[in-house]
Amino acid sequence: MSKYTEDDLREELKTKEYEYGFYTDIDSDTFPVGLDESIVRAISKKKNEPEWMTEWRLDAYRIWQKMEEPDWANVNYEKPDFQAISYYSAPSGKPKYDSLDEVDPELLATFKKLGISIGEQKKLSGVAMDVVVDSVSVATTFKKTLSEKGIIFMSISEAIKTHPELVKKYMGTVVPKTDNYYAALNSAVFSDGSFCYIPKGVHCPMELSTYFRINQAGTGQFERTLVIAEAGSYVSYLEGCTAPSRDENQLHAAVVELIAMDDSEIKYSTVQNWYPGNSEGKGGVYNFVTKRGLCEKNAKISWTQVETGSAVTWKYPSCILKGDNSVGEFYSIAVTNNYQQADTGTKMIHLGKNTRSTIISKGISAGKSQNSYRGLVQVSSRADNARNFSQCDSLLMGNKCGAHTFPYIEVKNKTAQIEHEATTSKIGEDQIFYCNQRGIDTEKAIALIVNGFSKDVLNKLPMEFAVEAQKLLEISLEGSVG
C-alpha cells in the first residue's frame, strides 16, 4: 500500500462532502416570509401566550428595528435577508419514514458509531416511534423523579403558561432585549426552547436533556433557554447533539440565560454539529448565539462546548461573576474545515470579590477555514483578588486556513492576577513519524494527536457526552481533519 500522506488527507478532506445532506421539507404549518409587528403578534397568538408575553416580544421587535447588524466579528458571509425568512414553522405530526430501513444507511452507521440508542435514532432521523421504546419509558421514569424533587423542566412555551411568575421574573435579566442585534431578534420571534428550574438545595440527580433529547427535538431556529438554579442547587445541562443535524434553517439565533443563585452550580455543555456547507463553502447554517450566565455569591457556572458544525459561528458563552467568590469556567473545542468560519470565545466579567475564572480554548483549523478566539476578561475596580487564567491553543493544518486570537483584557483593580497565553502550532512531523514507527497509520496518528490536543476540554464534558464527543471528533477526523 502506498503511503498515506498528509497531502492525501488534505485531498480527501477537500472532496469529502457532508454525506447526510438535507431532507426536503414536509408539509408543516409555516408562516409567510417576512417580519413585522403582525407576524410577532401572530407567533405569540399561535403559541397561546398571555398578553404580557406578546408585549414583551413587540418591545423587543421595536428595539431590534433600531439596531444594526454587527460586523466586527472576523467572519465573512452574505448577510441574511431578514425579510426572506419565515419566522414560524411548526413541525407537523407526520413522520418522515415508516421504519428505520428507509433511512440513509450512512447516517445509521454514524449513529451506531456514536452509540445512539435505537429509539433516539428513530426520533433523530424522523422515523415514526413505536409506543414502547426503551428511551421513552426511561424518560417517563426520570420525569417522575424530577417532579418529586420539585425540578421544573419543560419547554419554554409551556413554562410561560404554567409558571409565568418565574419566566416573567428572570427572562431577559441576563441577556436583555437590548443586548445585541440577534438577541433582540430572538426575543421578538423565539419559537421555543427549554425552561429549567432547580429548587433550593436540590442536587439534580441526572444530566438534564440527554435523556430528553428525543422529547425536546424540533425547537426551531430561534431557541430560547432559561436555566435557574436556586440557592445551593446543582444542575448539569446538555444541549445539542453529536448526531449530524439536518436543519433546513439557514439562520440560527439562539439565546441562553443561566441564573446561578448563592452557592449553586450550573454546568452547561454543548455539542454543535450543524450542516457546515459543502466543500465549496455553499450553504450551511449561520449560528449566531448569545449565551450568558449570572453568578451570585459562591456560585459557579461552567460552559463546555464542542463546535464542529455550522458555516459561520458567532458565539461567546459568558459569565457575569457578580457575587463574591463566584467561579466561571469556559472550555471549548472549535473545529473548522473547508470554508467554515468560527469566531468564538467567552467573556468573564469579574464584579465580586475573590472571583475566579478559567478559559481553555482549543481551535483546530483545516482546509480553507478561519478560526478565531475572541475573549474578554474584565476586572472592575471593586473586584478584589480576582483571578483569571486563559489559554488559547490553535492547531493549523495546511497553509490555506487561518487561526486568530483576539483577547481583550481590561483590569481596574490592583489585586487582580491575570494570565493569558496563546500558542499556534501544527502537528509535528516527528510526532507523526513516531506513530508511524509504532505501526499507527498517518490518519489514525493525526486523530490521536488531535484528541490529545483537545483532551483538556473533552475531559470536562459529562460522561454521557464525552464518549460521544470523542467519537464525533474521531469521525470528523476521518478525512475532515487532516
Binding positions for another protein, rule: CB under 8 A: 72, 381, 394, 396-426
Identify which of residues 169 and 426 has a Cβ nearer to another protein in the complex. Answer: 426
Return the number of other C-beta atoms located less than 10 Å from residue 350's C-beta. 32
Pairing between strand 194-198 and 224-229? parallel
Identify which of residues 150 and 407 has a Cβ nearer to another protein in the complex. Answer: 407
**Pair 357, 322: CB distance under 8 Å:** no
- Minimum CB–partner distance for residue 402 and another protein (Å): 5
- Minimum CB–partner distance for residue 287 and another protein (Å): 22
C-alpha cell at 410: 481590561
C-alpha cell at 119: 429509539
Identify which of residues 48 and 425 has a Cβ nearer to another protein in the complex. Answer: 425
How far is the C-alpha of 474 from the C-alpha of 482, rounded, in Å? Answer: 11
- 140 CB-near residues (< 8 Å, 6+ apart): none
- Minimum CB–partner distance for residue 273 and another protein (Å): 25
Identify which of residues 89 and 370 has a Cβ nearer to another protein in the complex. Answer: 370
Rounded to 5°, the CA angle 326-180-386 comes to 20
- Minimum CB–partner distance for residue 399 and another protein (Å): 5
Pairing between strand 402-411 and 370-379? parallel
Among the residues of 69-155, which ranges form H helices?
A: 105-114, 118-124, 134-149
Return the number of other C-beta atoms located less than 10 Å from residue 27's C-beta. 7
- Minimum CB–partner distance for residue 453 and another protein (Å): 14
Which residue type does 408 have?
Answer: Y
Residue that the C-alpha cell 464527543 belongs to = 469
- Minimum CB–partner distance for residue 57 and another protein (Å): 31
Residue that the C-alpha cell 431578514 belongs to = 82
How far is the C-alpha of 21 from the C-alpha of 399, rounded, in Å? Answer: 28
Nearest to 103 by CA among 121, 91, 130: 121
Identify which of residues 186 and 340 has a Cβ nearer to another protein in the complex. Answer: 340
Nearest to 31 by CA among 172, 222, 197: 222
- Minimum CB–partner distance for residue 256 and another protein (Å): 26
Identify which of residues 397 and 477 has a Cβ nearer to another protein in the complex. Answer: 397
Identify which of residues 205 and 402 has a Cβ nearer to another protein in the complex. Answer: 402
Could you tell me how far CA 201 lies from the centroid of its own chain? 27
- Minimum CB–partner distance for residue 417 and another protein (Å): 5
Return the number of other C-beta atoms located less than 10 Å from residue 320's C-beta. 24
Rounded to 5°, the CA angle 473-479-480 comes to 55
- Minimum CB–partner distance for residue 414 and another protein (Å): 4
Identify which of residues 140 and 381 has a Cβ nearer to another protein in the complex. Answer: 381
Identify which of residues 72 and 105 has a Cβ nearer to another protein in the complex. Answer: 72
